[in-house]
Amino acid sequence: MLKRIKTAGSFSANGTFAIVASKYNARFVDSMVRAATAELKRAGAKVRIVRVPGAFEIPAVAAKLADSTLSSQLSTRPSAIICLGVIFQGQTSHAQHIGWGVTHALAQIQILHRLPVIHGVFVFEKQEHARVRCLGRKHNRGREAAHTALAMAKIMAGLEPRTF
């Protein structure tokens, strides 16, 4: 059972958040991008969106955005990176391999760079499942990803070294 999404009214952000989203299955992904962007902007965050051809390409861009050595070229390192994509299960195991590969890569980027990388790349068996989770106003995984990114950015900022 899906839970109704609460608004991010309790969150405020003054950082930059990156959204890396696939162009493939655009109807569903675009809806998640719009919902995530609206939530981040409502919280006062700056948003940078990078579109890639498909879900498998998301980790390469996420890794580059997370690389702190590039922060001067990107103007600032993001407070969190939200990765959004939709994969539909077909007659072969290809979709599962893509999903597992993306999941593993995003986890590694998050650990290596100590930066929240929000996993919003979904493998669906049916388009109806994607419609409910990606297109709905009550339940939109893009909005949920933005909430998670805001919460994680706040947590990570609270863990920065402090002088005693």
Annotated active-site positions, please?
94
The 117-124 sheet, strands edge to edge: 46-52, 16-22, 80-88, 117-124
Token pair of 99, please?
């999903």
Instruction: Answer yes or no: are the C-beta atoms of 149 and 116 closer than 8 Å.
Output: yes
| 82 in Cβ contact with 110 (< 8 Å) | no
Helix (H, G, I), strand (E, B) or coil at 87: strand
